[in-house]
């Protein structure tokens, strides 16, 4: 283990999460845990789509079941624009404005918004705690919470718990009482599974579906009506991820080129994108037609 491997952590510990939460969260995503953070966010979105009331909204729009790749790309682009630029820079402001515009036509409860926010806070953090090359430190947990608290406030979400730990407790309780088996969530999972399959190394492609299912916990598998994979697959995935984390810790080097150094790319937009055009347009919103 070299001192250089922990240079970013040393810098993070010198920062104040209350003031520097954006810089800390950017460092986590772009330098310290790029693969794990992207996968953790994918798992967070998968889980957020699975609460029955949230799944029903998504299947009604058809965005995730009929325009799956575009919907996934739009969500990722808007999120990463906010992370890379914050909420005060023009592109970050534009992305936040577009997020609010997209949600405005729908009758979504505060608890449902809060649950999605909780997924983004808790699910990637737990993935890092289990499979990251090191544990996220208290500054990183706090910065993650503060970034999404600010996002929630700017989306008009109320009753956001007062700390990471309180949010985690609220999330677990809400998850336990609301994450139930439902057909809408199952349909969305079938449509979006292809995103997770792209994370599987090519030599393991034949096991892709089983490995994706193994990334879900038992509660999520029940909600989306996915059978548990055979225990050797679950045990093998766990062992492989643990081995990867140890190899990264012992032999890895800090990432010198940040994630998205060449811009945020997406399959749906090979020639680039305009933030204002991301998400469903007016004529695609149920109950609305273009004038």
pLDDT tens sequence across 36-57 = 999 999 999 999 999 999 999 9
| Residue 282 pLDDT grade (very low, low, confident, very high; cuts 50, 70, 90) | low
Nearest alpha carbon to residue 52 among 226, 182, 162, 171? 182
> What integer is the mean pLDDT of 146-157?
98
> If you average pLDDT over every residue of the chain, what do you get?
92
**What is the structure's pLDDT at 202?**
79
Q: How far apart are CA 219 and CA 224, in angstroms?
A: 9
> What integer is the mean pLDDT of 174-196?
92
**What is the structure's pLDDT at 272?**
95
Which range, of 60-64, 150-154, 195-199, 286-290, averages the lowest pLDDT? Answer: 286-290
- For residue 283, is pLDDT > 70? no
Percentage of the chain surpassing pLDDT 70? 96
pLDDT tens sequence across 198-234 = 767 777 778 888 999 999 999 999 999 999 999 999 9
CA torsion through residues 58, 44, 53, 290, sign: negative
For residue 14, CA distances in Å to 24, 31, 61, 142, 253 come to 10, 17, 45, 14, 21
CA 103 to chain centroid, in Å, comes to 18
- For residue 291, is pLDDT > 60? no
> What integer is the mean pLDDT of 159-170?
98
Nearest alpha carbon to residue 37 among 85, 76, 86? 76
Q: Decide if 112 contacts 174 (C-beta within 8 A).
A: no
At which residue do the structure tokens 């050797």 appear?
Answer: 232
- For residue 151, is pLDDT > 80? yes
């Amino acid at each position: 283990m070299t001192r250089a491997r922990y240079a970013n952590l040393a810098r993070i510990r010198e920062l104040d999460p209350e003031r520097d939460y954006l810089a800390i969260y950017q460092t986590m995503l772009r330098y310290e845990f790029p693969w794990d953070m992207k996968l953790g966010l994918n798992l967070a979105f998968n889980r957020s789509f699975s609460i029955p009331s949230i799944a029903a909204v998504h299947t009604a729009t058809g965005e995730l079941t009929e325009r799956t790749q575009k919907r996934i790309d739009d969500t990722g682009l808007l999120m990463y624009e906010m992370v890379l630029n914050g909420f005060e820079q023009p592109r970050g402001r534009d992305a936040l404005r577009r997020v609010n515009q997209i949600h405005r036509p729908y009758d979504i409860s505060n608890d449902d918004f809060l649950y999605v926010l909780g997924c983004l806070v808790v699910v990637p953090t737990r993935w890092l705690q289990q499979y990251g090359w090191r544990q996220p430190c208290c500054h990183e947990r706090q910065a993650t919470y503060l970034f999404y608290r600010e996002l929630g406030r700017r989306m008009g979400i109320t009753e956001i718990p007062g700390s990471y730990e309180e949010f985690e407790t609220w999330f677990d309780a809400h998850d336990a009482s609301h994450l139930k088996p439902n057909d809408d969530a199952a349909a969305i999972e079938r449509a979006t599974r292809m995103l997770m399959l792209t994370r599987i190394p090519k030599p393991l492609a034949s096991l892709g579906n089983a490995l994706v299912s193994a990334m879900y916990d038992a509660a999520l598998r029940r909600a989306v009506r996915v059978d548990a994979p055979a225990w050797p697959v679950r045990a093998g995935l766990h062992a492989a991820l643990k081995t990867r984390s140890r190899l990264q810790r012992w032999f890895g080097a800090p990432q010198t080129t940040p994630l998205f150094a060449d811009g945020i790319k997406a399959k749906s937009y090979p020639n680039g994108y305009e933030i204002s055009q991301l998400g469903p347009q007016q004529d695609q919103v149920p109950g609305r037609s273009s004038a």
